[in-house]
Structure 1
Amino acid sequence: MQKFYNRELQLKELRNISDNTEKTKGRLSVVVGRRRVGKTRLLNEVFKEVTNQHIYLFISRKSESALVAEFSAIIQSTFNTKFFHPESLKDVFEFLLDYSTMTPITLVIDEFQDIERVNNSLFSDLQNLWDNYKNKSMMHLVCCGSLYNLMTKLFKDEKQPLLNRDDHFFKINPLTPSYIKEIMEDNGKYNPNDFLVWWCLSGGIPKYLEWLNNSGSAPLEKLISNGSPLIKEGMHRLVEDFGSEHRAYFDVLGAIANGYNSRPRIESYLNTGVGVNLEKLEKDFDIINKLRPITAKDNSRDIRYEIADEFLSFWFRFIYSNRSAVEIENYDFIKRIIDRDFDTYSGSQLEELFKAILAESKLFNNIGSYWDSKGEDEIDIVAIDDFNKKILIAEVKRRYKRYSEAKLIMKSKSLLQSLNKKGYEVSFRGFALDNLDEILLEFSYTKERQ
């Protein structure tokens, strides 16, 4: 996709920071977003218009000496510094900061959180260097990372040396439903059924939207095939992060993708304890979400888990769960499984799509689901607007004709009693694929609401 969607605000702000370091002196920006969300593309677009010099350094899983040699070559080529021979990464960053006292530069350090694997003491070195140079440097330092919680910890945890050293913090989110629809319409591919397929296989991640856009009128047929990047994408994205324990994490994610969404059910299914794995998947890797009924308190133990990334949910449900077929390249078998199960699987993803549409509308301050203490009276969507005192309760079906408002009202009695929102206007709705366009229009975000 040549067109650049929904990144205008970040583009403008990042360019402005880089273009004004002669006046403002040193500025540190943190740019965070999950892998494939388009962080590098965003920064490349920034560089197209920035007037000062820029340099991009990627923290790969190499030894410090190997990274020093790689970065030294980049610096020599970029700044024509033939006699620059650093011995450590600290030397590299000190040289660049010193250089920026004379010449404005933008330095991007990508996968910044992986410095910990290379040399953990470098964070303290960077803190000392930045504190010494910031007020005389003309550097825009951009620390880019793919693990939101770890990057937040590095700059916001009181025990971390880089605490509050950031001047700007940018979180790059996946594209929202309205932009997915815009991409499909721009390429003549929009209809509600295909929109759901695109949502299930991308969740708004630009790289996956590009794959879908290039896959013709039958994306599942083309993407579930030998040589398709989709087949090994889950491995490529996660194995390096998970390291030697990747199989245990993969098994937990596979269980969640197949409907085992509480800790007891996962442990029963896998016949092993998973408490540590669940905590790390949520807090370190940002891959799962912990869900509670919308009426529950934060310390409630009534917890369910979901995979936070729609693509990974699909990949673990249909690719990882059928890895034996993948090994013998029996993609026809996997396609038959998808043909059989996709309608059921996509039903839960349709709920997430409608929640994303409501979130994009900016009309509600709390959006979730509900189930009672017995796991019954489940309600797909509950959206609360405390400002205008409104509650929207919705049932999600593939076909609207299967929706019954009377049944939804009956199921909602315990919810409304638990919410105890006296004086609130309550509306009951049926959301379905065949009224998706109406819902998108009704809850479209407009500037008048800002």
Structure 2
Amino acid sequence: MQKFYNREKEMDTLRRISKNISDHKGQLSVMIGRRRVGKTRLLSEAFIDQDIKYLYLFISRKTERSLVAEFAEIIRNELGAKFFKPQSLKDIFEYLLDYSKNEPLTVIVDEFQDIQRVNSSLFSDIQNLWDTNKQTSMMHLVCCGSLYNMMTKIFKGQDEPLLNRDDRFFKIKPLQPTYIRSVIADHSKFTAENMLEWWCLSGGIPKYLEWLANFANESGNIFDSIISDFSPFIKEGTHRLVEDFGSEHRIYFDILGAISQGHTSRSRIENYLGLGVGVHLEKLEDDFDSITKMRPMTSKETSRDVRYSISDPFLKFWFRFIHANKSAVEMENYEYIRNHIDRDFETYSGLELESLFQAILAESKQFGRMGSYWDAKGHNEIDIVAINDLDKQVLIVEVKRQQKKYNETKLIEKSHGLLKKLKLSGYNVTYRGFSLDNLVEVMDEFLS
């Protein structure tokens, strides 16, 4: 099994809740995070080889009868309930709550939001059972899901039966740059160029880092391995998104494809596709956590000066180079795709270097506000503006692939309008050029 990185705080908290469940009685933890981010692995690492009895129940998209049969078999095997014959998922939860009145038990329900597809009334059943038994059952119930908006709605929506029933709410995010660096270094592959490549190809998603680590042991260009027969990268975008998007997946794929090709405003996306996409953009941002809405640092939340970006660096790469060449994928013409990458990846990754530096500054915890800036005409673009209001510090950054292309005089000139709008009297302003040439030094400076 691959080495497990980070997540110590989450593991410690989960274990502590389960180990103290006899004293505190019923505890409900909610865990959310996009697919492949490592939620299931985290839960396994938290409870395996610990003196904690736990069950893992996965809500696959089966009929309720099939799930009941599957879970009943798990319960019979793990808890010794030889004669347990439930008729519904409600019976399953009721039995486990009764069992935990005598024995401490941790129950993990993975892809919890998919209960909606199996039997939507079960949310009300769980609420009634939980409210009735919480004070007497020694159960740590962990509800895990990959659709952020749905999981948040289930537990925070005003009209939802499970409103505020959670005692802990974990949001599992991709690994930060420090840990990506550790993964690369553990495979003796760390260089600034590799750090940028692995960022573009993984965005810190543990499963993708695992794949890259496996490919790193092969000789030659890493793209020769990931763009090839049997590479999991080829179909990953489709596998990861089609289930979430459902019957409308084609329009969502078209929108993400348009954004990946540089059509980043709503008007440009609609002109490119020839149809209205307002509702779909809203769902991609709120329901699926697939895109990020970006505004200039100085604009208000109501500003229409909005650009969209694909949230996950891996999906950004996948749509830019693999989905865009789906005909070549169907023909298994991987050499054609590799040639496309050879031609464009240097320019593409130069743009992605900006998001890597933003992630580094975010991980440093030195700033309370961060974003980008462009003026009303879309000019005078500034890559990174990071503000520390406590220490009255402003960091203004230009990102270039090569340090020699950084021009501080131009950056200062471009910043006049920004600083005028920010009205940060008495703040110390620092101008910096970040590049691939000083990536390692910047990481050491901000993350040491």
Task: Give the TM-score normalised by the residue count of structure 1.
Answer: 0.97
Matched residue type, 1:96: L
Q: Per the alignment, in what secondary structure is the counterpart of residue 212 of structure 1?
A: helix
In structure 2, what is the equivalent of residue 123 of structure 1? 123
Q: Is 1:332 paired with 2:335?
A: yes
For the 8 Å contact 1:19–1:50, the answer to whether it is kept is no
Q: Residue 144 of structure 1 aligns to a residue in which SS? A: strand
CA offsets, 1:277-320, max 9 Å, x none?
Answer: 10111110111111111111111111110011111110011111
SS at match of 1:164: coil
* Mean Cα deviation higher: 65-74 or 373-382: 65-74
Query: 1:448 maps to which residue?
Result: none
Matched, 1:74 2:77: no
Tell me, yes or no, if the aligned pair for 1:215 and 1:222 is still in contact at 8 Å: yes
Cα distance in 2 for partners of 1:2, 1:336 equals 32
1:355 aligned partner? 358
- Which residue of structure 2 lines up, in the alignment, with residue 306 of structure 1? 309
Aligned match of 2:224 in 215, 218, 221?
221
Q: Which residue of 1 aligns with 2:374?
A: 371
Q: Matched residue of 2:215: which SS?
A: coil
Correspondent of 2:295 among 267, 292, 306: 292
Structure 2 residue aligned with 1:186: 186
How far residue 200 of structure 1 moved from its aligned partner, in angstroms, is: 0.1
Cα pair 1:18 1:50 within 8 Å, conserved: no
- The answer for the alignment partner of 1:208 in structure 2 is 208
Q: Does 1:48 align with 2:51?
A: no
Consecutive unaligned residues of structure 1, counting only runs of 5 or more, are: 446-450
Q: Is the Cα contact below 8 Å between 2:388 and 2:394 reproduced in 1?
A: yes
What are the ranges of 5 or more consecutive residues in structure 2 without an aligned counterpart? none
- Whichever residue aligns with residue 262 of structure 2, its letter is G
Q: Given that residues 15 and 49 in structure 1 are in contact (C-alpha distance below 8 angstroms), is that contact kept between their aligned partners in structure 2?
A: no
Corresponding residue for residue 383 of structure 2 = 380
Query: Within the alignment, does 1:14 sit opposite 2:17 as a pair?
Result: no
Instruction: Give the corresponding residue for 1:196.
Output: 196
Contact 1:29/1:169, CA 8 A, preserved across alignment: yes
CA deviation map 1:192-230 (0-9, x unaligned): 001100000000011100111111252211010011100
Q: Classify the secondary structure of the residue corresponding to 2:48.
A: helix
One-letter amino acid matched to 2:152: T
Aligned partners of 1:176 and 1:360 also within 8 Å: yes
**Corresponding pairs, count:** 445
Q: What's 2:153 paired with?
A: 153
Q: In the alignment, what sits opposite 1:92?
A: 92
Q: Counterparts of 2:347 and 2:278 in 1: how far apart (Å)?
A: 28
Give, in whole Å, the separation in 1 of the partners of 2:229 and 2:155: 43
Give me the whole-angstrom Cα distance separating, in 2, the residues matched to 1:182 and 1:320: 30
Residue in structure 2 matched with residue 29 of structure 1 by the alignment: 29
Q: Is the 8 A contact 1:55 1:108 kept in 2?
A: yes
- In the aligned structure 2, how far is the partner of 1:52 from the partner of 1:358? 38
Counterpart position of 2:62: 62
Give aligned-pair identity as a percent.
Answer: 63
Q: Give distance in 1, aligned partners of 2:2 and 2:248.
A: 38
Equivalent AA in structure 2 for residue 206 of structure 1: P
Structure 1 outlier segments of 4+, above 3 Å: none
CA shift, 1:259, in A, is: 0.7
| Aligned alpha-carbon RMSD (Å) | 1.0
Classify the secondary structure of the residue corresponding to 1:395: strand
Question: Following the alignment from structure 1 to structure 2, what is the Cα–Cα distance between the partners of residues 371 and 76?
Answer: 61
Range that drifts further, 143-152 or 384-393: 143-152
Q: Distance in 2 between matches of 1:64 and 1:418?
A: 57
Work out the CA distance in 1 between the residues paired with 2:62 and 2:388.
Answer: 49
The range that moved more, 110-119 or 215-224, is: 215-224
User: Corresponding residue for 1:137?
Assistant: 137
Q: Which residue is 1:443 aligned to?
A: 446
